Amino acid sequence: MERPTDAPSGPRGAFQRFFHSEASGSVLLLLFTAIALAWANSPWAAHYEHMLHAPLGFTLGPWSFSMSAAHWVNDGLMAIFFFVVGLEIKRELSVGQLSTFRSALLPVAAALGGLVAPALIYAAMNAGTPGERGWGVPMATDIAFALGVLALVGPKVPVGLKVFLTALAIADDLGAVLVIAVFYTAHVNLLALGAVAGLLALLFVAVRYTARWYSLYVLLGVATWAAMLASGVHATVAGILVALTIPVRARIEPAQFLDAVGEGLSRLQRGELTRDSMVRDREQMAAIEDLGTATLDFLPAGFALERYLHPVTAFVILPVFALFNAGVRLDGRTQEALLQPVSLGIVLGLFFGKQVGITLTSFVAVKTGQAELPAGVTLAQLYGASVLGGIGFTMSIFVAGLAFTEGPLLAAAKLGILAASAISGVIGFVVLKVILARAPTPAP
């Protein structure tokens, strides 16, 4: 991974950091998936199950609260993951690939096709069966694994294709979150939902009109999560909503920042500045504080939080999620389970549905002149990316846990997700290698 001092600067540098973080995180995600599978099928499988269901909670006076370790991971830690996803979505909608109709049309159209086609394939195979509720499982694309495989393809991958796949996956995440909020909510507590709305309004005001009261922001964010948990809507949706209150633009204008920096530096240059003098001289310390305040006001909060939290989600939260959710029992009935409508619908939906949906909508959008291909990218390369879109993993496993309670249906769904993701990753890698074999190496 590039050191921060070596990374390109500007918007392209920000994207490169994002790309390398996702690609590197996918290695750890794969490792913890393998650990979960090995553990669940080892002589110590009972210890794995005990870890999943171990109660964790706290007592505060007359109040007590407890959930299983798996629920803390899926409802708690994953809320932080969805918070980062929300920051990515807001950034892209505000200043990124989804900020204008022209730039957003291709990845949004591709994401829409990649959401609808897999769901239709799954629904057709499971209509009228106990597994029909899982139609949302094959809709999602795992951005970490997809970008990880893309990184393995090598230096011939155009930057435009990386950006397209990233924007597609982010738009895909937005669609998946909407599906979770609307279709996988069993009941709604209107009082708790009203509390969510009120807390979000308070957070919106606090972020914009208070002077960096970070403890207040955290308190309101946690309260919003707790209210969402009580509302019946999945608690992780709170992460997205909280993220949407975070500004992605600076508090002050560039001219104000430059004036403040110029004045601060001028004050520091009036006398001799040393590490000792700045402690003794109140004027020097005041100038340094003013420079720090101007820098904080000019650094967009959304950008800073996304940059700091991305490694946490890529290298901690998602591997822990994989450890707690990828432990599927493999036995003599595994092949039979893979041929069940649930798992087969997921495999066909992710592998074929993503290809058909993404490629067809992209082709129509480009050929009708409504959208343009990214620079240096061909429709054949977009097809290769569509195969990688069949890597569902994290989001698909997450939705499967909402669609099915523990039992044969959830186990079949997880088997289908693992199989489809593995097939899509391997074949997507081969397809892109072949397509890019004769393409010129893009400029770094």
- Average pLDDT, 10 consecutive residues per value, the chain (444 residues): 40 53 73 92 92 85 82 89 86 78 86 95 94 93 84 83 86 86 82 93 86 82 92 85 88 88 86 82 86 85 85 88 87 75 95 96 92 88 94 90 86 92 94 84 54
| Token code pair at residue 390 | 């069949």
Q: CA 309 from chain center: how many Å?
A: 11
Give exposure, 31-68, as e/b (b: 16+ Cβ within 10 Å).
Answer: ebbebbbebbeeeeeeebeeebeeeeeeeeeeeeeeeb
Q: For every residue of 205-267, which 3-state class applies, written as one string? A: HHHHHCCCCHHHHHHHHHHHHHHHHHHCCCCCHHHHHHHCCCCCCCCCCHHHHHHHHHHHHHH
Residue carrying structure tokens 């094959």: 138
Q: Is 402 exposed, middle or buried (0-12, 13-18, 19+ CB in 10 A)?
A: buried
Fold of the domain spanning 10-58+108-184+333-436: Na+/H+ antiporter like fold (1.20.1530)
d(CA 429, CA 55): 41
**How far, in Å, CA of 109 to CA of 361, rounded?**
6
Alpha-carbon distance of 112 to 389, in angstroms, equals 12
C-alpha span between 328 and 29 (Å, rounded): 16
Sign, Cα dihedral of 109, 143, 421, 128: negative
The reported pLDDT for the residue numbered 111 is: 93
The C-alpha atoms of residue 406 and residue 412 are separated, in whole angstroms, by 11
Q: Which residues pair with 63 in a beta bridge?
A: 60
pTM (2 d.p.): 0.80
The most distant pair of C-alpha atoms in the chain lies apart, rounded to whole Å, by 81
Q: What is the pLDDT of residue 444?
A: 52
> φ and ψ at 111, to 5 degrees?
-65, -40
How far is C-alpha 218 from the chain's CA centre? Answer: 20
Neighbours of 364 (CB within 10 A): 13
Instruction: Compute the distance between CA of residue 226 and CA of residue 231 in angstroms, rounded to an integer.
Output: 9
pLDDT value for 376:
84
| Residues pairing with 55 in the sheet | 68
Which contiguous run of DSSP H or E holds residue 193?
helix 190-209
How far is Cα 129 from Cα 110, in angstroms, rounded to an integer?
29
